[in-house]
Amino acid sequence: MVLVDREIEVLAENTDLLDSYDKRCVTNVGYDLRAKYFAFGEEKKKELRLQPGESAFVASVEVLTVPRDMLCRVVIKNSRIRQGFTIDAPVIQPGHKTRVFFRITNVSHDELELVEGEKYVMLLFEQLSEEPENPYRGVFSDEFDFTGLGEYEGAYRRQIRKLEKREKDLESAEHSIYANVLVILTVFVALFSFLTTNLSFLSRAVSLRDFLLYNSVLLGCVGFLVALLNGVVYPRKGGKAALLRWLPAVLCFAASAAVYFWPPA
């Protein structure tokens, strides 16, 4: 059974249900929580602008003490859904004393602002059929300031590292795709230039020296562009690998210099 406004008012005014209780926040079937601050990464802010897809944890002004024969649910306000927010929140169990924390996410295509004191969610109070044998005594008991994963951090750290590794693998694959596409485009442009120019050489009298000079310079330029692209896409590769990527360009330019300075027959 969900409590209505009159029952919420009586309970809040005669028990320690809500610290910082404000009667104006009572609705017909719940209580509107006010935002105290926003936890974003390692920072806690009074105001925050969320970009599309970004999330933050919201801490409520109120501190909640759930009666042992009740539970509480956190639900998003209709107006905030229409604004472009969504929230994730746990069921707050019987006997749990805590400031209310929930995650809010911007699912719109616009930048959305979070402001201290604003109301984003409503608290519902549900009466249980009887008191449970064991009220809440978990890790997040008496959490009055946001602690993140709390004592679960060590247990979940391996899973978080796996996700971080997958993200790095995806970034590496993305760089590899970009590099391969750029190299292929460079090779196609070079091949087209190579064929068209050499066909034009065949249609007119060109000396062997000029033919070799042009082609060695062209191949040197292609090698230089390929090496440069690899250096931009894979900046961490150093040592012998970094030197070897420049070797074809150096050899081609050296050959062109030799042909250029070679005395004509």
pLDDT tens, position by position, 196-222: 766 666 666 667 667 777 777 777 777
Confidence tier at 241 by pLDDT (50, 70, 90)? low
Confidence tier at 159 by pLDDT (50, 70, 90)? low
pTM of the model: 0.60
Q: In whole angstroms, give the CA distance from residue 37 to residue 115.
A: 8
Higher pLDDT, 71 or 160: 71
User: Do the Cβ atoms of 106 and 38 come closer than 8 Å?
Assistant: no
Write out the two tokens for 131. Answer: 């008191």
Instruction: Output the average pLDDT for the chain.
Output: 83
Note the pLDDT of residue 221: 78
Confidence tier at 151 by pLDDT (50, 70, 90)? low
Contacts of residues 10-13 at CB distance under 8 Å and 24 or more positions apart, as own/partner, are: 11/67, 11/125
State the Rg of the chain over Cα. 34
Note the pLDDT of residue 14: 94
What architecture is the 5-148 domain classified under in CATH? Answer: Distorted Sandwich (2.70)
Query: Other C-beta atoms within 10 Å of 139: how many?
Result: 10
Average pLDDT (178-184) is 71
Q: In whole angstroms, give the CA distance from residue 76 to residue 120.
A: 6
Domain ranges (residues) in the chain: 5-148, 164-261
Q: In whole angstroms, give the CA distance from residue 214 to residue 259.
A: 10
Judged by DSSP in three states, 72 sits in strand
